[in-house]
Amino acid sequence: MIGRMNHIGIATPDVEKAAKVWLELYGATKAHDAFDMPEQGVRVKFIDLPNSQIELIEPLGDASPLLGFLARSPAGGQHHVCFEVEDIFAARDDMRTKGARVLGTGEPRMGAHGTPVIFVHPKDSGGVLVELMQIPAEAIS
């Protein structure tokens, strides 16, 4: 079963410009430094909210999976929602048992928080791309 919502992923052509919206228009108080994830083809910048985070993601490189998204929505937009799970392999197997499509090879890969993640196809979730993220063991009470 999924746990807490960890973050909302928002695709944008420019994470620094996008961050200003959340800081200046909506009054978010903390933006983290952006960092690159070359293997995932994204540049990432997190905005802290009282109960969650916004993950701003910008294409990085010619093979970025975000390029198609931004071709359809040049100004950017909501890309995925991330929920926490205790065991990423158990979550992956549960998704497959229930007939949902796990993207890629299905092998969890390292997410932006440094814990393993998988993505479930939006067609299995009413059009929502869902990221499942294993929370660090020390966060499990």
> Which residue number, 42 or 99, has a Cβ lying nearer to Co ion?
42
| Only segment of 45-53, 66-74, 92-100, 123-131 that touches Co ion (CB under 5 A) | 123-131
Q: Is residue 41 involved in binding Co ion (CB under 5 A)?
A: no
* Residue from the set 44, 70, 82, 95 that interacts with Co ion by CB under 5 A: 82
Shortest spacing between CB 134 and Co ion, in angstroms:
13
Q: What is the DSSP letter of 61?
A: S
Size of the chain, expressed as the number of residues it contains: 141
> Could you tell me how far CA 132 lies from the centroid of its own chain?
9
Helices (H), 1-102: 15-20, 66-72, 88-97
Q: Is residue 10 involved in binding Co ion (CB under 5 A)?
A: no
* Residue from the set 12, 131, 134, 135 that interacts with Co ion by CB under 5 A: 131
Helix (H) or strand (E) holding 78: strand 77-85
Subset of 83-122 contacting Co ion (CB under 5 A)? none
Distance CA 66, CA 84 (A): 22
Strand, coil or helix: what is 94?
Answer: helix
| Only segment of 37-45, 50-58, 62-70, 96-104 that touches Co ion (CB under 5 A) | 50-58
Contact 79, 41 (CB under 8 A): no
| Only segment of 22-30, 51-59, 70-78, 97-105 that touches Co ion (CB under 5 A) | 51-59
Instruction: Kindly list the residues in this chain that would bind Co ion in the complex (CB under 5 A).
Output: 9, 55, 82, 131
